[in-house]
Structures are given as structure tokens and as C-alpha cells.
Amino acid sequence: MNSPVRFYPPYPRFMKRGKGSRIWDVDEKEYLDFLLAYGPLILGHSPERVVKRVAETIEMGTLFGAPTEQEVQFGELLSRSSSLDMIRLVNTGTEATMHAIRLAKHFTNRKKVLKINGGYHGTHTFNFTSDITESVEFNSIDAIKKILSGKEFACLIIEPVMGNIGVINPEPGYLEEVREVTEETGTLMIVDEVITGYRTGFFPFYARKKLAPDLVTFAKIVGGGLPLAVYGGREEIMKEVRPSGTFPQAGTYSGNPVSAAAGLETLKILSEKDYSHLKDLTDLAVKLLSESGLTVNSQTGMLSVFFTEGPVRNASDAQRTRKELYFSLFERALRSGIYIAPSFDETIFISFAHNNEEVEKAFQFISEEARKIWKGS
């Protein structure tokens, strides 16, 4: 396994191909896909325009060790739609968040990092609690005020909607208050939009809240199915990155033309999409899942079902659910040709490639099976 989340007992299905909303394994069994490679494939598998653009780019060369026009075009489109002064392209969400945090420490000359309990920002040191990194609960503004009052922290990194402990939404006013506290304490606010960026609309989630973070990270959707990620933010901070400043960060594959081509074409397609369609599909899935009697959290294009009847507003709530029951739901769905995340703390995704009939059929089944499992049958 080249990523541990892909493993489930006794062994995972090996996939061979995908088109639209469906994938096929090596035995040619067909699945309706609501995993979508853990989120990047908002257009579904192998969208024709993206495939064509990538093929044309590969014929011209895969890597040059020099700037290309497409990475500039991608950067201009993303910067405009995200209201960012400057950006830097890297390869993965882990890289993007790691370098954003490193840059925050460099810029503020502070050593400590604050994150949200249950928030996931990759597999670098700063994602795990240590003498450098501390964590607080999501949706608890008082905890953030208390810990940042000492003005020791370089940054607070936060997902605007939590997505790796299940979907957990910010309560009204929470993100806005976080921004106020970080400004008052000189702590840089890093909004991690690796999952949420361009998912609920052709914009980052922070734009919906009219926030202006100091730094932002993107990955998944913006790469169009290829390795591509972004960190960016205020010019004052980003100018510290070499070659204009003294902050060291480089990468042989950063901004490579094939990924830039896929990302650029994906953003162009999304700029033409009616996101109300994706919202309607999500609302249908939520309505059906809620008939199970269990707790369902969602945002456009992403949702989670928790084996509890109470609210889930932070990681501690999620951990107190009957999470051991979720794998049975995954197994029943898999046997019926429905592919969802194998772990309770991952998100179920819906794409523009899905239709009402597929969503209704799949989530009616998932809801009925979840209710049976909850009732012990």
C-alpha cells in the first residue's frame, strides 16, 4: 500500500479504469464511485477536456526545469478566483501545508503552531501534537482566545470545514471570530482548503465567509486528478519566498506542465459549471441518509454519516460515535457495487458526473443498511 488509507481487510480491491461516475476493478466489477480518489475528481473520472489537454501537453514534453506558460495561466486563474496576491505551486497537500507553516514561522519569527483537534494537514511534523504543535477543539472560540493570548504562536492552521474526521461544519460566526483573534494576537491564519477549495462553488470556502486569511493552501480539485497543490497569500508574506526573499523552498516537479495543464483545464470547466446542480445532488443524498435516523453532516459535494443520534460539532464528538459500525456499512455498500470511503473519518464525495438516479439508488441503499446496522440487524 502506497497510502495507508487505501487498505482495508482482508485486502483492498485493485482498480483498473474509471469513466464518469463509475470505476471498474481488475475483475471488471463495476462500482458507483463516491470516494472519487478521496476528493480530487469533482468532474468524475477521465473528463474528456482534461484528458485531451493532458495528452497534448505530454506530447510537447513532461518536464523542463524551467517555467512554462501553462503554470502562469493556472496561477493567474486561481489567484483571481481566490483573491490571493501571490502563490507558489507544489505537488501535494502535505507539501503545501508544510511550507505554509514553515513560511509563517519564518515571517513571524515565532516557533509554535496551533491546529484543530482532528484536523488533517498531511504527514509532516506540524500535523502532530508535540512541543511545537498544540491543538484545540473545532467550534470553540474561547479555547483559541485563551491559547493565542500569549502571542507565542506563528500560525493557526484550520480547515474551514473539517473533512478528515468526517464532515464537520463551522458554527455561525466561528471562522469570523477566529480571524479576529488571529489578527489581534499577530498569529497568521492559514486556511487549509485542500478539501474544500472549489467544491462548494467556483471559489474557496473562506470567500463564502468573506474572510481574508494570511495564507491559504489548495490541492485535490485544483490538480484535476494529477499531483498539484498550492500555497499562497498576502504579498508581504509570500515575497519572503525565494528568489524574491530568504525563505527556502524549491521542488523539481513543482508546477510541472502536465499537472498545470490538468489543473488549468479543470478550473476552466468548473468556472462554467452550475454548482446548484451539485448542491441538489448533495441535498438528495442527505435527505435519504437522514432517514436512517443517524446524524448526517454535509456541505455541497461532501457528506458524512455518523453512527450516533446526537450532533457532531468537533473531533471529540466524532470519536464518541459508534465508529466501529461504519466498516460494516462500507462492506455492504462494496458488495452492492457502491464505492465509499472504508474509514468512518473520511468523507463521502459527490461529483458533477453523478446524476439524480445514481444518487437516489445509492444513498437509499446506504441509508437502509445504516439503519439496519444501527438497530443491530
Catalytic positions: 120, 192, 220
Rounded-to-integer distance, Cα 238 and Cα 234, Å: 6
Q: Are 69 and 56 in contact (CB under 8 A)?
A: no
Tell me phi and psi for residue 303, to 5 degrees: -160, 160
Half-sphere exposure of 11 (CA within 13 A, CB side): 3
Residues in CB range of 318: below 8 A, 6 or more apart: 118, 165, 166, 168, 306, 312, 345
All cell numbers assigned to 285: 443524498
Count of CB atoms situated within 10 Å of the CB of 314: 20
Rounded-to-integer distance, Cα 114 and Cα 97, Å: 13
Q: Are 117 and 260 in contact (CB under 8 A)?
A: no
Residue type, 30: E
Please report the sign of the dihedral spanned by the C-alpha atoms of residue 13, residue 15, residue 16, residue 22: positive
Per-residue CA distances from 289 to 225, 296, 308 (Å):
28, 7, 13
All cell numbers assigned to 15: 482498480
All cell numbers assigned to 31: 462500482
Q: Are 16 and 46 in contact (CB under 8 A)?
A: no
